Structure 1
Amino acid sequence: MSDDLRGLPPRRELPDDVRDRLRAEVRAGIGKPRRTKHLWYAAAAAVVVLAAGAVVATQAVRQQPVAGPPPPAPDPGNRLTLDAKVATSSLDRCWAAVKGAGKEDRVPPREEWVPLFTEVLAGDSVVAVTAAGKPMFCETTATTVTLSDPGATPAYAPGTRVGLLLHSPTGVVAGVVDAGSAPPFLDSRTESGDNMSQSIRPSTVTGQFVAMTRAALWTTTLSLENPPAPGGTVLPTPPPWLVMVVDRPVTADRTSPAGRALGECLAAAEMEVVPDAAAYAPGPVLEADGYRVVLGRHDERVVVCATQPDRKRPGKTKSTSYLDFTGPQPPPARTLIVDTLGGTESEAEQGKARRPFTAALPTTATKATIDFGIGTSVEADVVDGMVATWVPQNIHLDPLAKVHVRARDAQGKVVYDGSLMLM
């Protein structure tokens, strides 16, 4: 061994995610895509990016001590990552949907699909992929599959170099950013005036990007913003998706009063669209002073959906969903986030605001005693591990305040006894 190398730590294998990403970038970069007016992919550029990524990864491996953390991914600026397991499962479902629709002639063979990166948010997974060099996006949820059309031309807004290829019912926005252009911000604005802005993070290889806006498809306007420049450019409607199908159907009650309330609220929610909304079984319902709150559960996921008068649009209501983002292994008892109804931002009459307390509890619970610490407690039914009640109006809404909850099963056995955050 050379004396120059004696000070280096022992050679280490690249982590699986780094290896998968490098392999994907190589395969994507050496494809032979069709050149168009707006899109180009250069094998040389891919090789340069790959080389740079390899240098970063190699340096990270050499500089880390043996017992240290793994080296960073080769794209630390964008933080785009490839989950090989998610990609394989999703792409297999998308291919099955293509075959089921009899559209195999519209896409390259499955073996020519090369996953580049994945985006996952609360049960919604998107894979950015190239198919014989063409950009394509495969979205899967617990019950649905959506695949963009690899033969479609991206929809570009005049004067921009950002083209859309997909805007799905769950609010996924995906497309391409032409090489050499700075990615702008993507703004999503609903009819009720809610808006959200997020940065676009394109792949350094193909320019593909995915944005999880969670804004309703039919009532959302997408625009590109370039701060500090004023105004924005409205994006056109993307080309139709190639396939959208419910491949793993799950049905839930929508005929009972609670089922109808949940279905209506989730369908009307414009921001924070809930994937697989039809699969959520209804839980408890609260109604008072023109406000309505309903809970729903699908497996381990819980959602709160609230409806209130829309003061900015007289005669109409506004529905908002709050999905529980606690991860794949949520604690057995937890507070579910929901805003105050009729708060100052809603321009409601003073003194008309109501605050719901909602929580997830063990599914064996049937009754819960909720003590707000003001000398009185509330008894509430627990439905499928969900409980809801109104917070007393004379209580101070302290962000650090807690409530004591004791939950019992049908035999009276205590299945949870502890404190939860009030809000």
Structure 2
Amino acid sequence: MASPMASQSVSSVCNYLGCTEPAPLKCSRCKQVKYCSKDHQRRDWKAHKARCVVPPAPLSSVAHSPSLGRYLVSARSIPQATTVLSEPPLIPPVLHDREAPLRCPYCFSASPPHPSCLSKVKASEELRQDREGEARANEALKPHRAPPTVVLAARVLRRVFPPRGEGGDSKFMSLTSNVEVMESSLKSKLREMAALSIRYYNLSRAGPPIVEPGLDDSLGILARINQNAFTIADSELQPIGIGIYHQAATTVNHSCSPTMVSSFVFRETEPPQLQMRTIVNVEAGLELSNSYIDTGRCTVDRRAELLSSYCFSCSCAACKYGARHDASASQYAEVAAAGLRVQQLIDEQRFEEAALTLKSALPAYEKALFAKSPNLGIQLYKCCKLLEYCEKDLQLAADCRRKAEEILSVAFGEDDALVKEIKARF
């Protein structure tokens, strides 16, 4: 229901043509257009009716419980392959060292810095301070380089303890740290990184902060990064960087049999966007979850990693009831060994051996990984390419390509570069 003055739909004055009175009433259908009185709303209906659009019902909402804390649930039935969450990073993310020469440091595209990205960085004082300050710090640390986690921590420090005291970033500090319940070995490691983060921050800053950060401040930041950061990966699930995504970190819980998977969207002039898509049909009221770790491991190992890294004991259905369905220890070992061996053979250009090795490991992959796992889709597509290149078992290659397309189209979406590549093969 928008009137000829649709551009005023977000205004606080009446939407009826010519009226400039304050508008306390809203159209009850679209909730976008405002009116000063019911009389003006009735008079405007003929013009507004054709453009009145009911906003779609939200896909999700945040619930709370003593055991789960804040968590995301489906507000209505959601079909698989639906993007439920999409958000930019809270803090500019950091590339891994090996990717730095190959990718734009701002948008992470696989090319040198885009001129348009450089222009955006120069136009933002905050981004420019990051770039210039880190160049100073990197020069001072030569021949050593600070780990990406330390660089990210220094970026947080610059925002929490800004040089001119404009007020720090409270949104990041609202994240959970779990520092009180961490294992002593992890806390000790983070304390060492915290000291390096302060040094890197001091080398990179342009002027003294109003409040000088201490070791405990830096430790709290490192602990929050450790508990909440996402590994940014390309379409082939190769890690390329690290970033903080606030909404996902504060509302999406872990499950070893998740209803969603995360991936990243790369666009020029924008930092990597996190998206989470459903990989199964989700009924209204069910929790929307993601996996924090590699699920291709047995229940005991998964639970141990979650407890040591994220400070909780997983009680998802896969952990409660899945142990009896776990792949055998030899199958998990086969999956781990096959991945390393296949990559080694590819690096040595022994493609036929790589194809046969991966082909023989596919049953173990299908047993160890959940059915819609993107990692399974990646392995299937890799097997397809190797078999086609070597002209071996082309029927299996076609089956692998079809299964990979089904899995990755759901997980990543039809616009993903890898999905388009798979579709273009036939």
- Structures share a fold, TM > 0.5? no
Task: Write 1 or 2 for the structure with the bigger share of strand.
Answer: 1
TM-score under structure 1 normalisation? 0.23
Determine which structure has greater relative contact order: mean sequence separation of CA pairs < 8 Å that are 6+ residues apart, divided by chain length.
2
